[in-house]
């Protein structure tokens, strides 16, 4: 028994004195954080670019709808206008869900019939042909609220920020944009 303890002690003493491989340990401990930071930064940059382009698409589509008051717009036309202006969004026509509704500012509040639901309704990619939550074209001088929700897949879903984004909603993360406008008089 003492022989085994002495042998183990001698092995541990030699192991402690041996410096072979020490830079490898330092490299393994430091390398991962230095790789996670730039990859997560790139993922966040892509997320922000997609959100900015979705906002731009909404602004361009709203401008088109607002100035063409005489013609009612359908959900498909509105979505096509957004996707044409926001060219960077992958599978835009499938991944976006729209909500367009008139709102009366005189009768607004959390409990009124005029209130907007707090949570945006995103596409359910298992059921891609769901109708719009509420899509009503407005008339002249009417205040309209537009909310667009899109689901997107992270660039690297198993690494850095993409790992956390992909765990949010079955491998997707949501981007929501809301805007308001007044229909121009005809």
pLDDT tens for each residue of the chain, 186 residues long = 677 888 888 877 776 666 666 677 778 888 888 899 999 999 999 999 999 999 999 999 999 888 876 678 888 999 999 999 988 898 888 888 888 888 877 766 666 666 676 777 777 666 666 665 678 777 778 888 889 999 999 998 888 888 898 888 888 899 999 998 888 776
pLDDT at residue 87, rounded to an integer: 84
pLDDT at residue 30, rounded to an integer: 87
Dist. CA 117–CA 99, nearest whole Å = 11
What does the domain layout of the chain look like in residue ranges?
A: 23-182
pLDDT at residue 115, rounded to an integer: 65
pTM for the model: 0.77
DSSP string, 118-177: SS-----TTSTTPPPSSB----TT-EEEEEEEEEE--SSTTSTHHHHHHTTBTTBEEEEE
Phi, psi of 52 (to 5 degrees): -65, -40
pLDDT at residue 5, rounded to an integer: 83
């Amino acid at each position: 028994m003492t022989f085994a303890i002495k042998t183990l002690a001698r092995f541990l003493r030699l192991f402690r004195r041996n410096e072979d491989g020490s830079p490898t340990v330092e490299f393994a401990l430091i390398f991962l954080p230095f790789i996670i930071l730039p990859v997560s930064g790139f993922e966040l940059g892509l997320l922000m670019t997609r959100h900015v382009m979705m906002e731009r698409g909404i602004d361009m589509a709203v401008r088109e709808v607002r100035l063409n008051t005489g013609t009612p717009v359908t959900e498909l036309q509105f979505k096509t206008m957004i996707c044409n202006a926001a060219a960077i969004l992958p599978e835009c026509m499938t991944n976006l869900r729209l909500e367009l509704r008139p709102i009366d500012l005189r009768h607004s509040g959390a409990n009124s019939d005029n209130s907007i639901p707090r949570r945006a309704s995103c596409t359910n990619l298992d059921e891609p042909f769901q109708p719009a939550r509420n899509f009503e074209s407005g008339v002249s001088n009417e205040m309209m609220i537009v909310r667009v929700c899109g689901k997107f897949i992270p660039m690297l879903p198993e690494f850095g920020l993409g790992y956390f984004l992909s765990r949010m909603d079955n491998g997707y993360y949501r981007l929501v944009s809301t805007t308001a406008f007044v229909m121009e008089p005809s």
